[in-house]
Amino acid sequence: MRNAVTPEVLELVIRGDYKDPFTVLGMHREKGKLIVRALLPQAVSVAVVDSSTGKKISPMQRWGVTALFVAEIAGKKELFPYRLEIDWGDHVQVMEDPYRFPPVLGDIDVWLLSEGTHHRPYEKLGVHPIGMEGVQGVSFAVWAPNARRVSVVGDFNGWDGRRHVMRFRHECGVWEMFIPHVMPGDFYKYEILTPDGKIQLKADPYAFRSQLRPDTASVVHWLPPLIASDQKRKNANALDAPVSIYEVHLGSWRLPQDGRRWLSYRELAEQLIPYVRSLAFTHIELMPVNEHPLDDSWGYQPTGLYAPTARFGTPEDFRYFVQTAHDNGIGVILDWVPAHFPADAHGLVRFDGTALYEYADPKEGIHQDWGSVIYNYSRTEVSNYLVGNALYWIERYGVDGLRVDAVASMLYRDYSRAPGQWVPNKYGGRENLEAIAFLRKMNEIVGVERPEAVTMAEESTSFPSVSRPVWDGGLGFHYKWNLGWMHDTLAYMHEDPVHRKWHHDKMRFGLMYAYFENFILPLSHDEVVHCKGSLIGKMPGDEWQRFANLRAYYGFMWGFPGKKLLFMGGEFGQYNEWNSNGSLDWNLLQYPLHAGIQRVIRDLNTVYRDFPPLYKRDFDPDGFEWIIHDDLDSSVFSFIRKDENGRFVIVMSNFTPVPRYGYRFGVPEAGWYREIINTDAVIYGGSGIHNNELLAQPIPCNGYDWSVEVTAPPLATCMLVKKEE
């Protein structure tokens, strides 16, 4: 039963401190009469207009000296559609009254949102241009259960929080409202009256589009259309598919020539995608494209998880980029950041005046390393927000996968915290059980709803079964970054070749755990920033040796079990450390050694895609076999990659600048062998030492009945295959 509309209630409505304005404003039957009330600051006069006839039927009287206008409708007993004719002083406007429309959320939506099982909350929360009762407008819905009042403010109401106070759905803590006449492209925010009486302006957590920084308003925009599942993409993302990833920061890959700060999504589609295709990469991974206020965060401090950053264009432009990639046979992976969010005032932090999206206790809710805020994964609404976001990018933009950043910081409550500065879980342990449950839920739902997509974990600890199914006790990721392999092998390559024999284990240790997880071998942006130098800068020796070392290392990496990832600039041996505010040093490609690195990457990717033994059994120990792993003095490694059909590729690396003539090693079968790639080739800037066709001889070696005698080029990797008869 509706509360009586007393003068005290009217005062609260006028002050914008009433939680259920729909019971007061709009048209109501009260004591046998039809009463219309409208709160319209700055209006000079208001009248009620019958929508069916367009005729003015009653003027509205100002209540005292306030902005509240009231009319008693004579001659009508039943509620009817009406409009308001408003004289603003300089013009007259006839408009729909938002307080005459019914609720936006249906009972099923309210139920699913309240219990945290609405897998796609973005379909109801946020803004949606819709028609209601034949009137076009926009529905708004935002979760803010502890707010005293929430209003929609924007250009359409002069940013006045009294004009569009929302309806509170106490069943699920959501405020909602349909506002006629609002259109796509309009700017808006939520004005929130907090429990302690403060007013704050917040961007929409579910906004599909945002203003370009430094402006922070949300932008009314259509929900992008659904993209159907694609079996072709599923096959391309599978564990037994070739996956070679080019990691990119869109803002600094290449800068426009006309002085603009960035290339647009469409320009990147026309320039970046053909470049990636020309180098035979299978996938491109984008550092976060979610809206973020600070350029220097590279996107890892997102404030708009549902909005592609406006730096490079519109949501439609980003969809065009993804579609162009797919048209060129290239998958798109997004960096995704559910581990933390920034404390910018317009963002999620203390959204309704309370710790809503984040843990309340700073020992749980503040990242010590980044000064950012940690999601409260125990809240079903927060988990829903994040899981829905994962599906959103896959279903609405067609992305192939999500690389989840900083997973280790999510898994452990004591991550980067001193003793006494963290809160144990309910069992007294250090694991964040809520975050673990969230990750499993996200991976399960993505796996069921969109099985063509994959998820990848950047996880830097030995947490078990990161890339094992949830039903098998794992976290459910498809892949895990092998950061241990990256650190060990880069440390080995940094050594002068004369000392490498003392560090031999760094190159072979990865095989001790290679099959515990489904690994990606990452040479990411993290290795070329913060005074770490470039990849070519980590290599020892004179200029020729540095380039030879890098080529040999790439060859070893492309032969080693695991999918591949290389950050932009590494494909041509950029000297300088990555600068996120500049451009890659494309001018270096005029020099043969840099062009040679680019060509070896192209050819390694081509060989990798053309020879299934190099990828088919990446995660099966039967797909790998050492030939030589203990020749410390020569710093030579040799191994076999095999597929399920008995085909194989032999990989041999010589990590010294000394050619090894007459070097014999075992092979599994008799016959002729040929090189399919040699990183010492002249076309790459090498010395040109190579092997012609090799005939296996019946000389036992390395446990095999047959062997070949080769010349191992200096600082080089070769791959051999048996010639088909």
Q: Which residues are catalytic?
A: 405, 458
> What values do phi and psi take at 494, rounded to 5?
-70, -20
SS3 (DSSP) at 682:
helix
d(CA 379, CA 385): 10
601, 276 contact by CB (below 8 A)? no
Tokens found for residue 571: 């494909």
Q: For CA atoms 572, 266, 122, 20, give the dihedral sign.
A: positive
Cβ-contact 117, 84 below 8 angstroms: no
Q: Is 141 helix (H, G, I), strand (E, B) or coil?
A: strand
Widest pairwise Cα distance in the chain:
110
Contact 664, 701 (CB under 8 A): yes
Contact 557, 603 (CB under 8 A): no
> Phi first, then psi: what are they for 93, rounded to 5°?
-135, 135
* 245 DSSP β-pair partners: 283, 565
Phi, psi of 192 (to 5 degrees): -120, 125
- Give the count of beta carbons closer than 10 Å to the beta carbon of residue 146: 15
- Report which residue type is found at 11: E
| Orientation of helix 433-449 relative to helix 380-397, angle to 10° | 30
Locate 399 and state its tokens.
């992305």
Q: Are 651 and 639 in contact (CB under 8 A)?
A: yes
The residue whose two tokens read 């940013």 is 159
* DSSP three-state, residue 161: coil
Q: What phi, psi does 48 have (nearest 5°)?
A: -95, 130
Q: Residue 420: count other Cβ atoms within 10 Å of its Cβ.
A: 6
